[in-house]
Amino acid sequence: MPEGNFNKVLLLSMDDGKEVVAKIPNPNAGLPDRVTSSEVATMDFVRTNLSSLRMKLTRFSTSKHPLGAEFIIVEKVPGIQLSQVWDQMEGLKKVKLVEELVQFDKRLSTNSFHQYGGLYYNADRNDLNNRFVVGPTTNRKYFDDLRGSLDIDRGPWKSIEDCLAADARREKESIVRLGDSPRLLGISAPQDCIKLPKPPNFTRWIQDERGRQRIDQEKWEEGVKILDSILQNLGAYIGWDGFVSHADYNAMKELMDHFRAKFLENVAETDEEREIWAKAWPFPVSDKTPRSAGLALLIPMDEVDPDIAIRNPDSATSKSVAMAISLLLFFYILLAISSLSKALQQVRHDSDFKPDYILKITAESITVACRTRFSAVVNGTVPGPSLYLKENQTTWIRVYNDLPSDNATIHWHGLSQSVAPWADGTPQASQWPIKAQHFFDYELRPQIGEAGTYFYHSHVGFQAVSASGPLIVEEADGRIPYEYDEERMLFLSELFNNTDKQIEQGLTAPLAQFLWPGESESILVNGNGFPALLGNETDAKMPPEDASFVSDAKCHPDIIQVEVDKTYRFRAIGGVALSPLVFAFEDHDNLTIIAADSSYTQPTETNVIQMAGGQRYDFLLHTKTQEELQALGKTEFWMQIETRYRDQKDTFYAVLSYAKYNASTIPSSPPARPPVSIPYSLQDWLEYTLEPLTPNNFPSTDQVTRQVIMTAAQLDVKSGQYWTINNHTWTEINQHEGDTPFNDTTPTADTPYLVSVYKEGERAIPDYQKAVQNNGWDSELNVFAAELGEVVDIILVNEPAGVIGGYDVHPFHFHGAHVWDMGSGPGVYNATANQERLKDYNPIVRDTSLLFRYGDPYYGDGHNYTSQGWRAWRLKVTDPGVWMVHCHILQHMVMGMQTVWVMGNASEITYSTSPDLVAGYLTYGGDAYGNATYDPLVTHYYDD
Ligand SMILES: [Cu+2]
């Protein structure tokens, strides 16, 4: 007999040694006399039906006894709790016990009643055929939060409909009488209104039935996943209770319709399938199309019973609704759904296989901004070609590594990659890199809701400075939430004098030989740098050994061609290696941000964009009218770009041109003075301002399971200069350094974590318990550990104090699922103060955000940094896999500022597949990697 919130339980020892248990209801249990009466009757009912049950009611009082309370006294049954012996019990004994319990259930379920409500004794004690009757409910929903004081229908009810209607009326009445109810209580509770189906007879299962049961189980699991993804997308339903606030109701209904349409489009290929899925859709359809009554689990109040529809449609209460999901009913619906299990299959990619895109990484001398540089490039250009993917559609991209000897990979920056495990492109983390002269087929399938602006780049060494390009994901249904006429790309990247090799060698040399490659020579817009660089390179920080001056017509600014009176969607991509930057347009300060990274935001006005490596912003710009142009007397306007928070403050340009492009109109020199004045310090630009366009399911603070601190600092020691996270480093050539605080100088290339997980199973998974005691970090594997379902606050800290070395700004990038960006600030992070700021602000999700420094922006001042800075992220661990978290400054990456997160256990990460299914991925240059004479054997993770 449990003692808890609702009862006081006392063990009484009598003089004769007998022991009895006395139970007294607490006031919150409901009406004490009714609760007690019903409990006594229910106990009697159970005992009558289950003669083997040892339970002897000694005495009870259902009205206030002279001792002052209702009570129940039962004899204490000797024995111990099952939970204490369960683990030690033999299997066969357990089976017998379960069979016995099932028999209990079976006997109880053979009784049927004609009404719904609580169980009581028949007042007519002489009617021995009907000792028990159904009376008013004792369910606490009818009593909690002062509802007990209301004069409402508490049953018994003759039908499910009556029961549901009473539920709805109760909520309406409590809102009207009690004000904004502190807690909405759900309608449609199965224990009140729905007869439980009879349990199957477990004792007579035959092999065939077991097989079917297993399939049902798999379907159910698949169904729960689908449901979970729908709920995730809706953004407001947390857990299974399914309540939404009054204020969100209309928006939620709209969203629900939107996702229903998307859902049907995704799952159904034929009209017939569509119809089946539409029937299975468990939520109400707001256009009141007929639906199967049994499936209406989320029931807006006005659909339950027209006569209780609330009169004033504008009042806040009219929006109020209590919605509930019945997990039980879902179970049965999902059993009816056709199997969706993923068909993992191996396919030989021979000449019949046609990838959707082919990217060839080569090493070439290319010319930008009047300089030539020996660079790794994609398809011969900087930036590489733009890729267009579609939500919910599989795209195969073949990447040839045509470099003479170096490894290469491609990372699809910002794509969540939740399913195809080898496709994230992180060498030594999620895949063996592509050997020189080999190719690898990447399988990408953006999910619904992922439409937006991304980019791709190599994840090896310094290659991403030039081997990168735009990646756009288009909406599956073509419905873009913002209207505009045309799109323009702004791919921002950088030019360095030295080659990747020189830069990597200089950055990883022992401290005495350490060589900083200098600031970037130019910020490029769509591959064009302006002003053109001079032949005289005395300004350059380093001898530009491989850069040589060329003089030709290519040295012009990027021309962004626009027409009058049109709305353009700009997709600005931070493909820079090093410099955070800001940009603005001369005479065009009407920029409207509509997306950050790849997620749509509420429209937000600004006159300047600040971004760093790895970030993206989409914004709308409405161009001038003919009259406005005439008034201004010109048709060309500068786009002005300045680097930020670096040693130098440089200014670069592109041109927004209304005139038709022709050689004579292109400016040959930059403006005498920068036309736009952009503030230097923009550390609080759009912080706590950008909000998601649709609710994004921001987990509340009480869902947070733990906090992980990631402290960024520089470390100068004899063996080299490092950028560290919590005093540790990780790079693709030196990643498993265990407890060593930073990488040593002997490169190793250990097995990628994901490969180890396939090969060794749970042994390759970090020790979660130990890691949690150690700020989330497993020292053996040099990785962070997380379990699926966790909500983790990650606090990035920029720590200048006590560090020998520099202090810098870091754009931190999160692979896999995006994180909620809970803002940033100077000083020490204060969770309470920040939660206060989040009360009226819904953070956006993103994959890259800036950890600022707030001290003196320049080096060489004796490191007089007075204040550290922080940024707070909230991570919901949903995607099993191996995901990197790192600073996106390529120099810092080369110097070790990278970490790996392992999320989930081995079976979750491998989707319970066996290593033989993916053998070709488990070795460097394995069968999943093709070359000129070998067709790779590739695993397909998606059906189409
Ligand atoms: Cu950094």
783-786 and 898-903: which strand pairing?
Answer: parallel
Alpha carbon of 437 to ligand 1 centroid (Å): 32
Alpha carbon of 413 to ligand 1 centroid (Å): 17
| Token pair belonging to 795 | 């606090």
Task: Give the DSSP per-residue string, 208-275.
Answer: HHHHHHHHHHHHHHHHHHHHHHHHHHH----TTS----TTTHHHHHHHHHHHHHHHHHHH-SSHHHHH
From CA 780, how far away is CA 737, in angstroms rounded? 8
Alpha carbon of 807 to ligand 1 centroid (Å): 10
pLDDT in tens, 580-610: 999 999 999 999 999 999 999 999 999 999 9
Residue 303 in this model has a pLDDT that exceeds 60 = no
Alpha carbon of 893 to ligand 1 centroid (Å): 7
Alpha carbon of 399 to ligand 1 centroid (Å): 28
Residue whose C-alpha is closest to residue 850's, from 656, 637, 686, 640 = 686
The superfamily CATH assigns to domain 7-79 is: Phosphorylase Kinase; domain 1 (3.30.200.20)
Alpha carbon of 376 to ligand 1 centroid (Å): 22
Backbone angles phi, psi at 696, to 5 degrees: -120, 20
Return the higher-pLDDT residue of 451 and 40.
Answer: 451
Alpha carbon of 766 to ligand 1 centroid (Å): 26
Longest CA–CA span in the chain (Å) reads: 113
Alpha carbon of 515 to ligand 1 centroid (Å): 17
| H/E element, 36 | helix 32-49
Q: How confident is the model at residue 550 (pLDDT cuts 50, 70, 90)?
A: low
From CA 794, how far away is CA 886, in angstroms rounded? 13
Mean pLDDT across 387-411: 95
Alpha carbon of 747 to ligand 1 centroid (Å): 21
From CA 822, how far away is CA 843, in angstroms rounded? 6
468-474 and 387-390: which strand pairing?
Answer: parallel
Return the SS3 of 330: helix
Length of the chain: 944
Alpha carbon of 50 to ligand 1 centroid (Å): 69
Count CB neighbours of 741 within 10 A.
Answer: 13
CA angle, 179 as apex, 174 and 184 as ends, to 5°? 55
**In DSSP terms, which residues pair with 361 in a beta bridge?**
378, 401
According to the CATH classification, is domain 701-912 in 2.30.30.40?
no
Q: Is the peptide bond before 741 cis (omega within 30 degrees of 0)?
A: no
CB 856 within 8 Å of CB 774: no
> How many whole angstroms from its chain centre is CA 399?
27
Alpha carbon of 903 to ligand 1 centroid (Å): 24
CATH 3.30.200.20 in the chain: give the residue spans: 7-79
CB 285 within 8 Å of CB 148: no
Return the higher-pLDDT residue of 873 and 370.
Answer: 873
Alpha carbon of 535 to ligand 1 centroid (Å): 31
pLDDT in tens, 320-354: 222 223 333 343 334 333 233 344 688 999 999 99
CB 715 within 8 Å of CB 727: yes
Could you tell me the sign of the dihedral formed by the alpha carbons of 906, 912, 914, 915, in that order?
negative
- Torsion, Cα of 237, 243, 248, 251 (10° steps): 60
CB 598 within 8 Å of CB 389: no
Q: Which of 164-178, 191-205, 496-510 has the lowest mean pLDDT?
A: 191-205
* Rg of the chain on CA atoms, in Å: 33
For 861-907, where are the E strands, in sequence order? 869-876, 881-887, 898-903
Task: Give the DSSP per-residue string, 93-136.
Answer: HHHHHHHHHHHHHHHHHT---SSBSEEEE-S-TT-GGG-EEEES
For the chain, the average pLDDT equals 80
From CA 746, how far away is CA 748, in angstroms rounded? 6
Return the SS3 of 783: strand
Backbone angles phi, psi at 115, to 5 degrees: -135, 170
Alpha carbon of 419 to ligand 1 centroid (Å): 29
CATH 2.60.40.420 in the chain: give the residue spans: 701-912
Q: Is the peptide bond before 156 cis (omega within 30 degrees of 0)?
A: yes
567-574 and 616-622: which strand pairing?
Answer: antiparallel
Alpha carbon of 52 to ligand 1 centroid (Å): 70
Alpha carbon of 446 to ligand 1 centroid (Å): 28
From CA 311, how far away is CA 292, in angstroms rounded? 27
Return the higher-pLDDT residue of 943 and 758.
Answer: 758
**In DSSP terms, which residues pair with 783 in a beta bridge?**
778
- What pLDDT does residue 291 have? 30
pLDDT in tens, 418-430: 767 899 999 999 9
486-495 and 567-574: which strand pairing?
Answer: parallel
Alpha carbon of 750 to ligand 1 centroid (Å): 24
Return the higher-pLDDT residue of 217 and 446.
Answer: 446
pLDDT in tens, 465-499: 999 999 999 999 889 999 999 999 999 999 988 89
Alpha carbon of 671 to ligand 1 centroid (Å): 32
Alpha carbon of 941 to ligand 1 centroid (Å): 34
* b/e per residue 323-342 (b: at least 16 CB within 10 A): bbbbeebbeebbeebeeeee
CB 620 within 8 Å of CB 488: no
Alpha carbon of 235 to ligand 1 centroid (Å): 32
> In this structure, which amino acid lies at residue 388?
Y
Alpha carbon of 240 to ligand 1 centroid (Å): 40
Return the SS3 of 782: coil
From CA 760, how far away is CA 646, in angstroms rounded? 45
Q: What percent of the chain has pLDDT over 70?
A: 78
> In this structure, which amino acid lies at residue 691?
E
Alpha carbon of 891 to ligand 1 centroid (Å): 8
Mean pLDDT across 299-312: 32
CA distances from 574 to 80, 263, 451, 873 (A): 65, 32, 18, 20
609-611 and 581-585: which strand pairing?
Answer: antiparallel
- What pLDDT does residue 318 have? 28
From CA 890, how far away is CA 896, in angstroms rounded? 10
Residue 883 in this model has a pLDDT that exceeds 90 = yes
Alpha carbon of 392 to ligand 1 centroid (Å): 34
Alpha carbon of 569 to ligand 1 centroid (Å): 30
Return the higher-pLDDT residue of 84 and 384.
Answer: 384
Alpha carbon of 810 to ligand 1 centroid (Å): 4
> How many whole angstroms from its chain centre is CA 759?
27
CB 68 within 8 Å of CB 75: no
From CA 490, how far away is CA 572, in angstroms rounded? 5
CA angle, 60 as apex, 56 and 62 as ends, to 5°? 140
Alpha carbon of 164 to ligand 1 centroid (Å): 58
Alpha carbon of 742 to ligand 1 centroid (Å): 15
Burial class (CB in 10 A: 0-12, 13-18, 19+), 212: exposed
Residue whose C-alpha is closest to residue 396's, from 384, 383, 410 = 410
Alpha carbon of 879 to ligand 1 centroid (Å): 25
Alpha carbon of 803 to ligand 1 centroid (Å): 15
DSSP 559: E
Alpha carbon of 896 to ligand 1 centroid (Å): 10
Alpha carbon of 743 to ligand 1 centroid (Å): 16
From CA 450, how far away is CA 879, in angstroms rounded? 15
Alpha carbon of 794 to ligand 1 centroid (Å): 17
- What pLDDT does residue 231 have? 65
From CA 334, how far away is CA 294, in angstroms rounded? 13
Alpha carbon of 809 to ligand 1 centroid (Å): 6
From CA 463, how far away is CA 890, in angstroms rounded? 9
From CA 441, how far away is CA 328, in angstroms rounded? 43
CA distances from 128 to 8, 38, 117, 131, 836 (A): 33, 18, 21, 5, 63
Q: Is the peptide bond before 557 cis (omega within 30 degrees of 0)?
A: no
| Token pair belonging to 485 | 């006429």
Query: Mind spelling out the 3-state secondary structure of 652-700?
Result: EEEEEECCCCCCCCCCCCCCCCCCCCCCCCCCCCCCCCCCECCCCCCCC
pLDDT in tens, 717-749: 888 888 989 888 899 887 655 555 555 556 667
Alpha carbon of 618 to ligand 1 centroid (Å): 24
CB 325 within 8 Å of CB 240: yes
Mean pLDDT across 667-675: 88
- What pLDDT does residue 316 have? 29
Alpha carbon of 808 to ligand 1 centroid (Å): 7
> In this structure, which amino acid lies at residue 797?
V
Mean pLDDT across 775-790: 92
- What pLDDT does residue 804 have? 54
- What pLDDT does residue 844 have? 97
Alpha carbon of 645 to ligand 1 centroid (Å): 12
Return the SS3 of 616: strand
- What pLDDT does residue 210 have? 65
Alpha carbon of 725 to ligand 1 centroid (Å): 10
Alpha carbon of 532 to ligand 1 centroid (Å): 28
Count CB neighbours of 581 within 10 A.
Answer: 24
Return the SS3 of 190: helix
Alpha carbon of 105 to ligand 1 centroid (Å): 62
